[in-house]
């Protein structure tokens, strides 16, 4: 159900206005963050918990966020990047004598409310059979996307399936590490505002670096003491 059509929202003009404002702001920031880069698409597809399901939504806000042209261009860029930079990774062929595994679908009752709402917007498709990846990069991508999503963390899933999808596993190592590294950088910038204040805006670069390193060392010592003395 669309959030904007809920009974609580319909009966409250202020709540409806707030939701509309949040939606418009989300669209604004999403357009800015994805205009010059396909990396958000890459990282989402390489996450085995989502793959390309988020971009197949045919209703709701996600359908508004991801236009068909944008998804098509990102998918082409994803395939091209895999072929150009990761095609030297050779897949390990599964034993043909072993039966094909079936990926068990996730029990709907185990999903939280957000995940259930997200899955309700995705067109239903049968893609639970595990296929042996062919030699081409495009074939490996198709085989990966043909399987059902999982609840396993990406690091665990890729460590178990890297031999089946070596090109995509190498891509996952590169692109899934981007959000994690950027978060740490943002934290450093946020702390930097405490060091360089209105009263201390003439500090030299070396002084700022020493202060930041000293602060990081103090925090590390506190964490070590806490871990040693629970």
The domain in which residue 202 lies consists of 183-228
Q: Are residues 62 and 136 in the same domain?
A: yes
pTM of the model: 0.61
Q: Are residues 7 and 51 in the same domain?
A: no
- Beta-carbon neighbour count of residue 34 at 10 Å? 16
Is-contact 38 78, C-beta < 8 A? yes
**Cα–Cα distances in angstroms (integers) from residue 153 to residues 49, 102, 160, in the given order:** 7, 19, 11
Could you say which DSSP state residue 97 is in? T
82 burial (CB, 10 Å; 0-12 / 13-18 / 19+) is: buried
What's the pLDDT band for 103 if we cut at 50, 70, 90? very low
Q: Are residues 75 and 171 in the same domain?
A: yes
Q: Are residues 102 and 156 in the same domain?
A: yes
What's the pLDDT band for 133 if we cut at 50, 70, 90? low
Q: Residue holding tokens 């003009």? A: 13
Residues 6+ apart with CB under 8 A from 80: none
20-24, 158-162, 198-202: the lowest-pLDDT one: 198-202
- Beta-carbon neighbour count of residue 147 at 10 Å? 20
56-60, 67-71, 113-117: the lowest-pLDDT one: 113-117
Q: How many domains does the chain contain in total? A: 3
Q: Does the pLDDT value for residue 84 go beyond 70?
A: yes
Q: Does the pLDDT value for residue 94 go beyond 70?
A: no
Cα separation of 62 and 2, whole Å?
11
Cα separation of 69 and 34, whole Å?
13
* 166-224 per-position pLDDT tens digit: 999 999 999 998 866 555 556 666 666 777 776 777 788 888 888 888 888 888 888 88
Q: Are residues 77 and 158 in the same domain?
A: yes
The token duo for 70 is: 């944008």
Q: Are residues 191 and 109 in the same domain?
A: no
Q: Are residues 43 and 134 in the same domain?
A: yes
* Closest alpha carbon to 102 in 79, 80, 81, 128: 128
Q: Are residues 104 and 197 in the same domain?
A: no
**pLDDT value at position 51?**
94
């Amino acid at each position: 159900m669309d959030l904007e059509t809920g009974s609580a929202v319909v009966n409250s003009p202020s709540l409806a206005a707030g939701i509309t404002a949040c939606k418009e702001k989300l669209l604004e920031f999403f357009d800015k963050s994805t205009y010059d880069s396909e990396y958000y698409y890459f990282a989402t597809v390489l996450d085995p918990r989502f793959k390309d399901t988020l971009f197949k939504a045919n209703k709701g806000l996600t359908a508004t966020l991801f236009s068909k042209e944008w998804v098509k261009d990102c998918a082409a860029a994803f395939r091209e990047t895999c072929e150009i930079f990761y095609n030297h990774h050779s897949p390990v062929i599964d034993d043909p004598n072993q039966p094909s595994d079936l990926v068990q679908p996730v029990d709907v009752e185990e999903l939280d409310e957000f995940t259930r709402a997200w899955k309700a917007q995705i067109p239903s498709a049968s893609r639970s059979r595990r296929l042996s990846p062919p030699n081409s990069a495009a074939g490996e991508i198709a085989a990966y996307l043909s399987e059902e999503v999982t609840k396993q963390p990406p690091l665990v899933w890729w460590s178990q399936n890297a031999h089946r999808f070596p090109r995509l596993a190498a891509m996952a190592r590169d692109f899934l590490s981007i959000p994690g590294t950027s978060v740490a950088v943002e934290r450093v910038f946020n702390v930097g505002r405490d060091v360089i204040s209105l009263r201390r805006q003439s500090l030299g670069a070396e002084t700022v670096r020493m202060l930041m390193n000293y602060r990081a060392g103090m925090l590390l010592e506190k964490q070590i003491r806490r871990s040693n003395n629970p």
